[in-house]
Structure 1
Amino acid sequence: MAGFPEDYEICASELINLWIVEGFFKHLDESKSSEEEGEDCLEDFVKRSLVLVANRKFDGKIKSFSLHDIVREFCIRQGAKEKEKNILLKTYTLSLVTDFVWSRRMVKMTTNIKKLGICYSKEKFDLDSRYRLNNLKYLCRLEKLKLEMNGDFSFRELLLEFELDMRGGFSLRGLNFPLQLRKLTLSGWRLSWSDMTTIGSLPSLQVLKLRNFACYGTHWETTEGEFRELRLLLIEQSNLRYWGTEASHFPRLERLILHQCDLNLIPSNIGDIPTLKLIEVDDMPRDLLASAKSIEEKRRNSGNDSFQVRVKRS
């Protein structure tokens, strides 16, 4: 806590997120989340007169607080002793955390992180809000990123809402990813196909998983020079119907997985990708499965017996 300026009003959720990153909570009480353990810890500090409550939320939980001068001085002294053992700066993995705020301060304190998972609630989220996801681009060592959008809605409800109110969508415009990112999972997000250009331009991206997402328009046209290193592409629960692409647009693709999609046909030139080893599809719709089998037959006729079509039963 010594990292905060003197007389600074500290956001409780920001400090709790820092504690979670540092692994302070061991879930001794399995009925409580890490966030709830952090809230209990803060309340304990208040009872011990170590911190001063500045604001509380409508439900009575601490929203912000400040430190007693004596407590801050103690933290500074202890911080100096532990400077070389700073756990936060040595953190490499941060599992799925909820409603994480990526302030510049937080980015500076997690510079070594390589694997990151964040979950946001549909009800609270706004891309341009206090969550500051645009600052993710400063995580210069981040290789694996998972962004989840949770809410009480089905994929079809999400798609309908998306079509009715584009302005309220969770578009990726304005969100820049670290260039060294190798694995990206987006779950529950609303996209436009133009956003895929941002993703496709990531020079090191090898794995892309798109789950439960709705897109503006149903036609995806890829372009030359994108997805140069992509090995695995998964599209699950999507309104994608038409896919225009060339084998040269995915020159290193090895696995293509399509589940619960509205896609009519897999482009036949996907079969011309020399590195492709597997296509996995549902057994319905039949036209999609038939196009996958056609690619398989073409590969077998060319002498490539290692290629496989895997069928997932509905």
Structure 2
Amino acid sequence: MKGKGIQAESDLQCKVKESEIYKYLKGRRYLIVVDDIWGMEAWDHIQRLLPDDNNGSRIILTTRLKNVAAYANSASPIHMLRFLDDQQSWHLFQKKVVGDQDCPVELQEIGEKYVKRCEGLPLSIVTVAGLLSKIDRTPKLWKRIGANDGQLETILLSLSYKHLPRHLRECFLYMAGFPEDYEIRVSELIKLWVAEGFLEGRDESKTLEEVAEDVLEVLVEQSLVLVTSKKSDGKIKRCKLHSVVRDFCSRQAGEEKFLLPIMDYFPNPIVRRHFLPQVLQNHQRVSVSWYDLDLKDSTHSSCTRSIICISQRGYRPKGSIENFKSLQVLHVLRRKDHAFWELGQVFDLIHLTYLASKIPSNIIPSAISKLHNLQTLIIYRSEVSLPDEIWNLEQLRHLIAFSFLPLPDPKDSAKSSLKNFQTLSLATNFVFSSSMVRKFRNIRKLEICYSLEEKFRPNYFDFGSLGLLSRLEKLKLETHCSFQLCPKFYFPRSLKKLELSGWRLPWTYMMVFGRLPSLQVLKLKNYACSGELWKTIEGGFVDLRLLHIDESNLQNWTTESSHFPRLQRLMLHRCLYLSKIAVDIGKIPTLELIEIDDHNRSLLYSATEIKEKRDALEVRLKRF
């Protein structure tokens, strides 16, 4: 009871102080800066203390979390702090260390090394400068700290890391497995997170892959992950860790025995080979070089479950993984080399859920049926031949290669559909048989290439069964024919992204695509449509955000702003015969970007004229 009384008294004192703050500000005009807010509840609490008398008072809020900034006031603009250049970085560092004075000459060279290491990250610069400002300004001491500055990253990032829930921590620490400055393919990172089991599908309307996309967005908003490129639909395509962040991530992952980046801890390859057997016995997840796994007799582990293998240029042995009997994830970084695994070893790893690698032969043997837990198969090779047994892998989610030879018909395989199957890329001369459609009932991404000679020219392609794939969101249909094809398309209403290449369709086919209610991205490449005139009509493309035409003989495009009511990005590349863009395009209220290539000056001039009437519109020049 005594403890409760003390707590009640403390709460009462807080309320009295809050009341005093509110009374003091009431009726006054104030400017208040609230620094480093971490959550929405904290902002709600502070906001109650600040009276709104509509008298011009202002509040400036800083936070590392974009969602908190948007929550505080969705109507006000959010200023996203960018990385600083060398001059700005040095100015900030110097101001924090010595104020308005100049940095002593004897410390300048050492200080510049510190600043360069921060790579323009303001939070890093301020943290480093803050530490150095509290010690004696002597070159000897500054150098000594520089030789052991792991504490800088810890101080810088520990707060951000500690605020993450467990599954976000796991996803973040996993990125320590990739080398410094390596641009990570988000499509593969997401599949890895899913295969590792970091994510839970709490929302039945979302796949685990969609949950993973949300996780990545959160890590980006918290400034832990850098976006290096985006897809046409605005989603993240590639990302990486800032070097300062990666150092922290690598250290934290090792300390928690979550994942050990072996080359970070043992940079010397001779020392690494000596300690590797012992290290592998104590860590479930490792990232390691290809060279280190070329130890057929001494490298083994019953503990290691996941390997991120960093292939090395100029080193092309057959890797050995036959002694990793518990291995579940094997991801070889996609680089231009010729290293590969012995397939016989791989198919003995019956616990594998994820495999991404180059292979020595384009023929996958029937022994793949032993990998009954396999979810993701990514092969860095073209013209891959799959056996009938591939359709017996009931856990399969993603099947990807540079290209597959025509797939075996699953009519004689297990009758059940692949309920989790989401991705097939890139299939060659795919036939929509009833058994194939039944297997792919839940597929979300499908990429197909048709390679036909003139003598095999059909009157049309029958895509009737395509409409039965009710969850299909992304579709790519490519052909390398030199003649016009007139297929009958039956697209599912769920389609969000459509890419066509080489079909030479009449522009009247656009009416078919325009009726797709969910279509957001339309890419027409390599004479996907052929003809001089495209005349759009009212009521189509109701949700189209991006239109990309690349290589076309289009000369006259007649359209109105209401025909593309939500268009945000228009990209016209290698449209050599199109001299102007309809003025009405500029009246689309959502339009943000027009991108033109550098081979069509008249089209660029037309886009510039449209921009003159729209301040917020960006006109970008694409160089080929």
Band of TM-score, shorter chain? 0.5 to 0.7
Q: Within 1, Cα distance between the matches of 2:542 and 2:578? A: 23
Q: 1:284 aligns with which of 599, 610, 614?
A: 599
1:38 pairs with 2:352: no
Q: Give the Å deviation of 1:265.
A: 0.3
Root-mean-square deviation (CA, aligned residues, Å) is 3.1
**Structure 1 position 150 matched with structure 2 position 480:** yes
Equivalents in 1 of 2:492, 2:465: separation in Å?
A: 9
Q: Which amino acid aligns with 1:176?
A: Y
2:460 alignment partner, one of 103, 128, 135: 128
1:143-182 correspondence to structure 2 within 5 Å: 143-150=473-480, 158=482, 162=483, 169-172=484-487, 174-182=488-496
Tell me the amino acid that sits aligned with residue 281 of structure 1. I
**Map of 1:240 onto structure 2:** 554
CA distance in 2, matches of 1:115, 1:292: 33
Asked if 1:271 is matched to 2:594, the reply is no
CA distance in 1, matches of 2:531, 2:446: 30
Give the Å deviation of 1:25: 9.2
Q: Name the counterpart of 1:48.
A: none
Do the aligned residues in 2 keep the contact of 1:25 with 1:37 (CA within 8 Å)?
Answer: no
**CA displacement at 1:214 relative to structure 2:** 5.5
Given that 1:214 and 1:239 are in contact with CA atoms closer than 8 Å, whether structure 2 keeps it comes out as no
Paired with 1:133 and 1:25, the residues of 2 have a C-alpha distance of 32
- Pick from 611, 615, 621: which aligns with 1:296? 611
Matched, 1:92 2:440: no
Offset from partner CA, 1:9-55 (integer Å, 9 cap, x none): xxxxxxxxxxxxxx99976634416665436989xxxxxxxxxxxxx
Tell me the equivalent position of 1:307: 617
Q: Distance in 1 between matches of 2:597 and 2:579?
A: 12
Deviation at 1:232, TM superposition (A): 0.1
Distance change >3 Å, CA 292–CA 136, structure 1 → 2: same
The 3-state SS of whatever aligns with 1:89 is coil
Amino acid in structure 2 at the alignment position of 1:91: F
Deviation at 1:223, TM superposition (A): 0.3
Q: Structure 1's 260 and 41: CA in aligned 2 closer, same or farther, altered over 3 A?
A: same
Q: Which has the higher strand share?
A: 1
Distance 2:617 2:363 in 1: 45
Q: Counterpart amino acid of 1:289?
A: L
Q: Deviations over 1:77-109 (max 9, x none)?
A: xx59xx6xx6x2320111211111111221111
Q: Is the 8 A contact 2:460 2:486 kept in 1?
A: no
* Aligned partner letter, 1:271: G
Q: Counterparts of 2:434 and 2:561 in 1: how far apart (Å)?
A: 40
Q: 1:101 aligns with which of 431, 446, 452?
A: 431
**Which residue identity is paired with 2:602?**
D
Q: Which residue of 1 aligns with 2:513?
A: 199
Contact 2:554 2:578 in 1 (8 A): yes
* Match of residue 249 from structure 1: 563
User: Which protein, 1 or 2, shows the higher relative CO under an 8 Å CA cutoff with sep ≥ 6?
Assistant: 1
Q: Which residue of 2 aligns with 1:57?
A: none
Match of 1:13 in 2: none
1:61-80 alignment to 2 at 5 Å?
A: none
Partner residue, 1:19: none
What TM-score does the superposition give when structure 1 sets the normalisation length?
Answer: 0.67
For the residue of structure 1 that corresponds to 2:574, the secondary structure is: strand
Measure, in 2, the Cα distance between the counterparts of 1:127 and 1:137: 20
Runs of 4+ in structure 1 off by over 4 angstroms are: 23-28, 33-36, 39-42
Q: Which residue in the other structure is 1:53 paired with?
A: none
Aligned to 1:165: none
Say if 1:194 and 1:40 are closer, same or farther in 2 by CA, change over 3 A. Answer: closer
Task: Confirm or deny: 8 A CA contact 1:211 1:236 kept in the other structure.
Answer: yes
Name the SS of the counterpart of 1:205 in structure 2: coil
- Residue by residue over 1:123-179, the C-alpha shift from the partner in whole angstroms, topping out at 9 and shown as x without a partner, is 2563635xx42210111111110001135xxxxxx4xxx5xxxxxx2124x221111
SS at match of 2:449: strand
- Say if 1:215 and 1:90 are closer, same or farther in 2 by CA, change over 3 A: closer
The equivalent position to 1:228 in structure 2, one of 525, 539, 542, is 542
Gaps of 5+ in 1: 1-22, 43-63, 152-157, 163-168, 301-305
The one of 108, 113, 116 aligned to 2:446 = 116
Bigger Rg, which one: 2
Report if aligned partners of 1:251, 1:273 keep a CA contact under 8 Å in 2: yes
Matched, 1:189 2:503: yes
SS of the equivalent of 1:199 reads helix
- Sort the Cα spacing of 1:101 and 1:125 in 2 relative to 1 into closer, same or farther, 3 A: farther
Counterpart of 1:239 in 2: which secondary structure? coil
C-alpha contact 2:501 2:528 (8 A) present in aligned 1: no
**Structure 1 pair 110–40 and aligned structure 2 pair: CA distance change class (3 A):** closer
Q: 3-state SS of the aligned residue for 1:106? A: helix
